[in-house]
Amino acid sequence: MSKIKKTEPRDNEEQEEEANKYNYTYRDMLLKFYKLYLKRYKEQFFGIQFLHVVGAILLLIPPLIMREIIDEAIPAGNVTGIFTLAGIALLVFIIQAVVEKVSIFHGHRIAQEVVRDMRDELYQHYQRLSMSFHDNKKTGELMSRIVDDLNKLQEFIHHGPEAIVQSGILLVGTVVIMLTLNVQLTLVALIFVPFLIAFSRFLMKRMHRAFRKTREAKAIMNDRLEDNLAGIKVIKAFVSEENELSRFRRTTQDHTDYRLEALRYVSILFPGSRLLNGLGILVVLAFGGYISATGVISVGTVVAFYFYLEQFRNPVLRLVHMSEDLSDTFSSLERFYDHMEKTPAIVTEISKSPQEPKLKGRVEFTNVHFSYDNEEEVLQGVSFNVEPQQTTALVGPSGAGKTTIVRLIPRLYEHQQGEITIDGRSVKDFSVRDLRSSIAMVMQDDYLFSDTVEENIAYGKPGSSREEIVEAAKAANAHDFIIDLPDGYDTKVGQRGLKLSGGQRQRVSIARAFLKNPQILILDEATSAVDLETEKLIQEAIERLTAKRTTFVIAHRLSTIVNSDLIIFIEDGKIREKGTHKELVRKRGEYFRFYEMQFEQKSEAI
């Protein structure tokens, strides 16, 4: 099998450049993290660090007890002393185990709760950020910030301080105790420590680099998988299974290759470090045995040295591992701050009115200009006035700016120039919550959550009773097909509602809008891409829904257009014509040509 060429993930220099562009220092990030999140749990957190200190000190005691048993109790034939010292050692082991159990559980609990708070705040912040932010971000990237980056941080919150506190005390305490026992043997015992540290750092740097590439390859693999599963219908329709399989195999091979590279280093690191530590122990036993035989030190001291060296390797490896892990941890924290510090383009401020009156639905655009991300203007000086309970059709070629207009009314995007008012009041003077609570939108391909039919309809008015939901479904001509589903209103609709047909999804969306009972209604191609029979059912539902509501309709269907109170013809972001259907037909302008083209297409279809 030929080697599949890998797409090299970004190297460390690129990652460092990305990290440095925010100008955070490790100290700044840690202080900020402590003040914003960890400080809420400071008593518990520092209590855990105290337990780490106690646990480390307890681990230093047993070798000294064994030394006393070997050097004092056994030669003296003091059986009581042997059992007493053994009992003390057992008690130390039990206390240490209890301390470790408490510190592990509660250390991880604090880490979980801190990350939970951060995850909740980041998710809430994503909801506050405007659509312009989400338009430029992949769903997978945002999910990675919430899940993967914070999982990495969660591990560090507990294991980072634990490694510094516990490992530091173990290493310092071990060296101090060994020096008090015998300086000469201590120097011999520590000969291999620099080699152990250098060996570990060398391999861990490469191991971490390989694991970083593995994570990047995994992200690419996940993106490819998400695309393929979401687009399975297109893949099947174009008979592209083999092509997509080949592309997916390349991503899985990249992931496998990088992971095997990392595992190669792991397979050397742990046996190699154990070997170096073992060599140190052998040297201690050999030299210690020699000076013990000459009477310089006791046998118990040699045994104590053996046990101290046995537990010496793990703290060294933990500190080296933590130092190598720091860059990944701070990168995760930095990416978290990067998104948390993005300012919402549309602020969900409190309403300037002490009590929100019910909207009448008079909408006015005055010289409105808008562009996405400061690119070419999509709307150029748009002005029109819609009276309460009036139905307005926005007509024009694709890309003219129709959908943009209706998105500005509930402030999904913020216009740059001009004024948009509802009942004479600027939309910016409403709180976003109050404004959007008075508006319902039914889109061409409205999103349904992978919940039950009932839950999707109730999304329009959380806490609605089953009776209210059924009434809304009946009004939307959805009740009959719903009760024929396997579990009726309790039927799961699948991801994006894929278990329902397009017409069924539209009627569920209309039922959701009915339940919300809005003052302003926006219909964006709500009757497109359905058969004539379904269109009739949807049209009947829409007629009921639009009654006594200010309604904006984007549609190419002639029946929807001609019956509107006002028709606005838009092209290239500008209003070319506006009036009733009869008025615009009499003018024989651009709308008339558009209308004739639609009529011809319908005749050909028939």
Q: What are the structural domains, with CATH classification, of the chain?
A: 25-182 (1.20.1560.10), 356-438+550-606 (3.40.50.300)
- Under 8 Å CB-to-CB from 91, ≥6 apart: which residues? none
* E strand residue ranges, 478-537: 520-524
Measure the CA–CA gap between 284 and 305, rounded to whole angstroms.
7
Measure the CA–CA gap between 372 and 345, rounded to whole angstroms.
12
Res 556: pLDDT: 64
Res 86: pLDDT: 92
Res. 598 pLDDT band, cuts 50 70 90: low
Q: How far is CA 245 from CA 91, 217, 226, 251, in A?
A: 60, 17, 13, 10
Res. 559 pLDDT band, cuts 50 70 90: low
Q: Which of these ranges, 118-122, 233-237, 347-351, 486-490, has the smallest mean pLDDT?
A: 347-351
Q: What is the mean pLDDT of residues 169-188?
A: 89
Res 156: pLDDT: 85
CA-wise closest residue to 407 among 419, 415, 396: 415
Res. 19 pLDDT band, cuts 50 70 90: very low
Q: What is the mean pLDDT of residues 8-29?
A: 50
390 or 597, which is more confident: 390
Mean pLDDT of the chain: 82
Res. 507 pLDDT band, cuts 50 70 90: confident
Find which of 382-386, 500-504, 547-551 is predicted with most confidence, using mean pLDDT: 382-386
CA-wise closest residue to 407 among 368, 381, 375: 368
The upper half-sphere exposure of residue 517, i.e. CA atoms within 13 Å in the direction of its Cβ, equals 9
Res. 529 pLDDT band, cuts 50 70 90: low
- CA Rg, the chain, in Å? 35
**The pair of three-digit structure tokens given for residue 567, joined into one six-digit string:** 């028709």
pLDDT tens digits along 310-365: 887 778 878 777 766 776 777 778 888 888 888 777 765 554 454 556 788 899 99
Cross-strand partners of 442: 523
Return the SS3 of 458. Answer: helix
Res 540: pLDDT: 81
pLDDT tens digits along 562-588: 888 899 999 888 999 999 888 888 888
Measure the CA–CA gap between 122 and 48, rounded to whole angstroms.
27
- Helices vs. strands in the chain: H and E counts, helices first: 24, 10
CA-wise closest residue to 392 among 523, 271, 219, 503: 523
pLDDT of residue 514 exceeding 80: yes
pLDDT tens digits along 194-218: 888 888 888 877 887 887 788 778 8
Under a CB-based contact definition with an 8 Å cutoff, are residues 583 and 552 in contact? Answer: no
Measure the CA–CA gap between 95 and 469, rounded to whole angstroms.
60
What is the percent of the chain with per-residue pLDDT over 70, rounded to a whole number?
A: 89
Measure the CA–CA gap between 527 and 37, rounded to whole angstroms.
49
Res 157: pLDDT: 87
Find which of 131-140, 167-176, 219-228, 445-454 is predicted with most confidence, using mean pLDDT: 167-176
pLDDT tens digits along 127-143: 888 777 777 777 777 88
DSSP for 299-319, written as a single string: HHHHHHHHHHHHTTHHHHHHH
pLDDT of residue 46 exceeding 80: yes
Res 18: pLDDT: 41
Q: Which of these ranges, 102-111, 347-356, 473-482, has the smallest mean pLDDT?
A: 347-356
pLDDT of residue 2 exceeding 60: no
Q: Which of these ranges, 4-8, 210-214, 373-377, 442-446, has the smallest mean pLDDT?
A: 4-8
Q: What is the mean pLDDT of residues 419-433?
A: 89
- Under 8 Å CB-to-CB from 8, ≥6 apart: which residues? 213
**Residue 458, number of CB atoms within 10 A of its CB:** 22
Q: What is the mean pLDDT of residues 46-75?
A: 91
pLDDT of residue 5 exceeding 50: no
Under a CB-based contact definition with an 8 Å cutoff, are residues 461 and 517 in contact? Answer: yes
- Under 8 Å CB-to-CB from 534, ≥6 apart: which residues? 501, 502, 503, 506
Res 343: pLDDT: 77
Res 16: pLDDT: 36
Measure the CA–CA gap between 466 and 452, rounded to whole angstroms.
13
Res 136: pLDDT: 75
Find which of 13-27, 159-173, 338-352 is predicted with most confidence, using mean pLDDT: 159-173
Res 419: pLDDT: 93
Res. 527 pLDDT band, cuts 50 70 90: low
Measure the CA–CA gap between 550 and 310, rounded to whole angstroms.
79
The vertex-362 CA angle with 356 and 365, nearest 5°, equals 110
